Structure 1
Amino acid sequence: MAVDSGSVANIDYTSRDFTGYRDSLLAYAQQILPEWTSRSPADFGVVMVELFAYMGDIISFYQDRIQDESFLTTATQRSSVVAIAQQLGYQPHPAIPATGQVAFSPAPGLTSPVTLPAGTQVITAYIPALDRPITYETTTDVIVPAYTTPVPQIVALVAEGATQGSRSLALYASTSGQPATTVRVEDVGASDGTKSQTFSLAQSPVLLDTVRIFIDDGVGGTEWTAVDDFLLAQSSDLIFTAVTDDQGVTQITFGDGVNGAVPATGLKITAAYRTGGGSYGNVPQSSIVDLAESVPGVVVAGSSPMAGGADQETIDQIRINAPRVFRAQGRAVSAQDYADLALTVAGVADARAVVRSASAVTIFIIGPNNILPSEGQRDTVAQYVQARSLSGVVVNVVNGTLVPVNVGSSTLPVLISVQARYRRDTVKLAVQQAIQQVFTPPETTFGSRISISRIYKAIQDVPGVDWAVIQMMARSDLTQSGTADVVCRDQEIPIVGSIVITASGGV
């Protein structure tokens, strides 16, 4: 059948789904095959059109997803967001283990000192929420003396997490004078001599800054160096990268022989690393109660609060922080530059710089999920930013102040009316969670203003809410009356305090 070459179809190039493709194909068919008039779903032509429309719908979906993953504001995969942030010069923060101190004492009957080597594990009591105790390891050797009275207490630094590995590997002495040592390692595979080999570590979550890779020739191990990328590497450089993917698996990648060396064929690849990290490790004083493996004559006498643990940086936080760090360009001139540079230090989720004088800048910082950074983290931020600040400017770093905000009280609760078709208890819980979300980072930051209208909107957006009345909203350090907006100072971050809700209606 001849087709009229002068007939040109008006194609709708905005068609991006099944219905649009189907309608466009049928409209085109009307022009080139006017004698085909059947539109029955059972018609073979209609079946073919719908199959092509279905295929086009799938292709459009993947095209949209690919495009979305190319931009920081629309990417949903963590690997995509991290890759874009790294292009901007920003390294997202990994999970950080909590640290603290544990006191060991000799038990009655211990007649000679006992040495606890670095890496000795101590544990908390069983924690139902985690379905396990939390493990911490000593960071240095500890010598517990013989039992005397009064009973001595030996304090040791500990870090949350556990060292992985099933065997010991002897290391060659380094050319820099480092003596031969042994290290606990995990076998991750053997080199096949190909370019850009990748191996997976067996355990997770991995603390990336603890990963060490060794090439085992059967007699001893040679350590390779971790790098962020292979961009400036030479072909002889013994280097690797360690990256954790979206499923939480850490991948070790070697060079291609041009940028980074390739491990020789047949040699074992071994890894030494620790797992752990997260805010769950921030436990109160005296939470550590025992040694993971009993050591005769040694007991745990107590522990300090564990602090500094933080979860890995969220995607939403990366979207906010990466452009800020890119603007700073590694130097601090304006007050905003000082705050932006502080964000590049692990464990800092938000920062605000305040200029007190021409020669002093105070940076207020806060950790992920509004956790207060430890003294060591504050010192690290101060050193990092000081090295990039203007000459003559002194940088001081302090923790931000968390200000609880109470919404409702026992005498002035938040009143909500639930629509007839909804369960009262379910809607009440959803309203409470919606109010809590208003105070969840990154919704709040230093100097935030929480308006009463913002709380009303959060409540009204909950399905099943008919109407609401907020009778009281105030900072916990002020008079608990009225519904004025909550205003925070530069160093303050609002957090949720008490929420009291009374619900009526519904079922």
Structure 2
Amino acid sequence: MLNLPSIDKHDAEPVSAENAAYQKSLVYRADDYSSLRYKLLQHLEEAFPNWNRMLADKQGPQDFGVAMIEMFSYMADVLGFYQNCKANEAYLRTATLQGSLIDLCALIDYRIPPGASGVALQAFLCKPSQSGTIPVGFKVKTKPQPGATALVFETAENLDASAELNQLFLKGYNRSDLHLSVTGAPAESTVLLDQAYAGLKSGQFVVITAPNKHADALRLLAVEDESGKRRLRWKPGELPANQNLLVADVVILGKPKQQMKLAE
């Protein structure tokens, strides 16, 4: 036989759950399925004097009274769950739904701006002597990793495209304190390097620097190999004095141990 202690009618009244401050969630409901079923069974004998408690304990859920109580307890438990969720959505700290946050912010006349699409930087290069305009809405698709989805970006405005804009440098990118100069001697000059620098070719811009932080800017006329060394030929004064030489294609450092011989 189910032996349950008796309780008075006031115990069935709603009880507020205790919640500590600054929690991520609230416990608003005071009863769940088990506690509701327990309380209703205790009051069933008082409401129905002819109800046989001993017979109900033997029959269990087959008893109509017990079945009705369990059905009501289940229904009340579900409703209590939703009521508890609703209570949590009423506070900024405990709300989990975006709609709840928007409604709460609206109470103080704050409107959350709509979400913006992703923004990325894209460089467009033109072939020599080509120019034009890239229209707004021009689509660019990323190359995804295996198993991933490609992302599509669109230009936000019309863009001027030109081969002259293929190489752009950020402001302040060159932080060197070297003093650049262009010699004005009319004669052709050469220098013999004790190292075979890779990438040197005729017509290339080169900056030759020395330990005293002085640098000469020049355009190579010829690059010749001599027994594992490299001879550079140029004509000083060929470059205009106002040409922008913040960055050269090749920088040769004139270290003390490096032997640099100027030809007569």
Structure-2-length-normalised TM-score = 0.45
Task: Name the structure with the higher strand share.
Answer: 1
The higher radius of gyration belongs to: 2
Structure-1-length-normalised TM-score = 0.25
